[in-house]
Amino acid sequence: MPRTLPPDLARGLLARAQRLGGAPRSTVSETVAAVAALQAQDAAAGHLGIRARRPGSTLAEVEAARFEERSVARTWVMRGTLHLIPAEDARWMVDLLGPIGLKKSARRIAELGVADARPAVRAALADGPLTRRELADAVRAGGVRMADHPQVPAWLTGVAALQGEIIEGPDKRFVLFDDWLGPAGPAPEDPVVELARRHAHAHPPSAPEDFAAWSGLGMREARRAYKELDLDEVEVLGRRAWIPRGLEPAPPHVRLLPMFDSYLLGHRDRSLILAPEHDKAVRPGGGILAATLVVDGRIEGTWKLDRGRPAVTAFGAFDYEDEVEDVVRFKAREP
């Protein structure tokens, strides 16, 4: 029988794996790699996610990692959604997960006429970076017939990125994938198993259904991959899950996490970290995940920026002023 893991201990292990309780000094790319990926459909929110996991981070360091060192990339991967990922993993992750995102949105892609623009996209970007709108105009000029719809530029860039042709560069412009990141390194022997390993180490305690929900892969692949992992089986809140060996719980901590943070997206069921009575505050509808106050691994409030300063709505009495000041400090460097 697997041992039962008390919820407080399970939350502590998850917070440690997600770098919320302090961590050894690391680079921006090492921090992103440690948590597998950071959800970043809003780039500024993704940057704040790094701040919460890397004490003392500055926005200048994050942007240097993205646009000077090119060690961190922002592109569409898990579930066809924008994430910050280690640049060295971008090619194999896009090759694995891009087709899933394309299949999920195949009907809309066909309606907008953006499915077969790859040669025109490559030709348009051969001379340098372009914004979404500039790219769409150049592709049309290249003879591709796309719908006359305001969503076309966004969908065109998303589809081309999922196809592995382009990636986001500086100043909200897009560049050819290989021009920006250079030749791809060797891919993992089994990319699904490697992705499952990263998920399991970043989101413990977890199970195949959590990996499938996070990655967008099917349950058959998720179960196969988890069988290949060297993990300890436990029981948490009445369900089977697995944890890495030797992981210690995080020390006491208070963190302000941004909207859509990956802490809320690594598991199919959020009951370990979010009490049912607070679910509506965190998930108000429309696909929104609110920015949250996390105390010792549990979500204990939400927050919004008010004139550049976090305004926190806590579910109890907590001391979060240091975090408020640190968000202000981080954003003060924002260009």
pLDDT tens, position by position, 105-160: 999 999 999 999 999 999 999 999 999 999 999 999 999 999 999 999 999 999 99
pLDDT exceeds cutoff 50 at 335? no
Q: Is residue 189 part of a domain?
A: no
Q: Is residue 274 part of a domain?
A: yes
pLDDT at 183: 84
Q: Is residue 44 part of a domain?
A: yes
- Range list of β-strands (E), the chain: 3-4, 38-39, 72-76, 82-86, 166-168, 174-176, 232-236, 239-243, 254-257, 291-295, 298-306, 309-314
When pLDDT is cut at 50, 70 and 90, the band that residue 334 belongs to is low
Nearest 5°: CA angle at 260, between 27 and 114?
95
Range of the domain at 55: 1-69+246-335
pLDDT at 75: 97
Q: Is residue 74 part of a domain?
A: no
Would you give the distance in Å from CA 226 to the centre of its chain? 21
pLDDT exceeds cutoff 70 at 195? yes
pLDDT at 249: 96
Q: Is residue 188 part of a domain?
A: no
Average pLDDT over the chain reads 96
Averaged pLDDT, 81-101: 97
Q: Is residue 61 part of a domain?
A: yes
Phi, psi of 213 (to 5 degrees): -65, -35
Would you give the distance in Å from CA 87 to the centre of its chain? 13
Q: Report residue 83 as tokens.
A: 């994430």
Number of domains into which the chain is organized? 1
**Nearest-angstrom CA–CA distance, 296 and 185:** 38
Q: Is residue 209 part of a domain?
A: no
Query: Could you tell me what percent of the chain has a pLDDT over 70?
Result: 99
Q: Is residue 33 part of a domain?
A: yes
When pLDDT is cut at 50, 70 and 90, the band that residue 2 belongs to is confident
